[in-house]
Amino acid sequence: MATKQDKVPPAYWFFVALLRPMLMVLTKRDWRGLEHIPREGGFVISPNHFTYADPLAFAHFVYDSGRPPRFLAKEALFRVPIIGRLLRAADQIPVYRNSTLATSAFREAVRAVEEGKCVGIFPEGTLTRDPDLWPMRGKTGAARVALETRCPVIPVAQWGPQEILERYGKRIHLFPRKTMHVLAGPPVDLSDLYGRPMDVATLREATDRIMAAITGLLEELRGEQAPAVRFDPKAAGIPETGNFTKEA
Structurally, the chain folds into a number of domains equal to: 1
Contacts of 101 (CB under 8 A, 6+ apart): none
6 part of a folded domain: no
Which residue from 122, 140, 151, 153 is spatially nearest to 199, judged by alpha carbons? 140
Residue 191 belongs to domain with CATH number: 3.40.1130.10
On whether residue 203 sits in a domain, the answer given is: yes
Is residue 223 helix, strand or coil? Answer: coil
238 occurs within a structural domain = no
Residue 201 in any domain: the answer is yes
User: Residue 69 and residue 12: Cα distance in Å, rounded?
Assistant: 10
Contact by Cβ (8 Å): 73, 95: yes
Residue 19 belongs to some domain of the structure:
no
Q: Is 9 exposed, middle or buried (0-12, 13-18, 19+ CB in 10 A)?
A: exposed
69-74 and 93-95 strand pairing: parallel
Per residue of the chain (248 residues), what is the pLDDT tens digit? 455 557 788 999 999 999 999 999 999 999 999 999 999 999 999 999 999 999 999 999 999 999 999 998 888 888 888 888 889 888 898 888 766 667 889 999 999 999 999 999 999 999 999 999 999 999 999 999 999 999 999 999 999 999 999 999 999 999 999 999 999 999 999 999 999 999 999 999 999 999 999 999 999 999 999 999 999 999 999 998 888 887 54
Is 234 within a domain?
no
Q: Report yes or no on 112 lying in a domain.
A: yes
Report if residue 42 sits inside a domain: yes
Sequence-ordered list of residues with C-beta below 8 angstroms from that of 90, at least 6 positions apart, any chain: 8, 9, 11, 12, 14, 15
Domain span including residue 144: 30-228
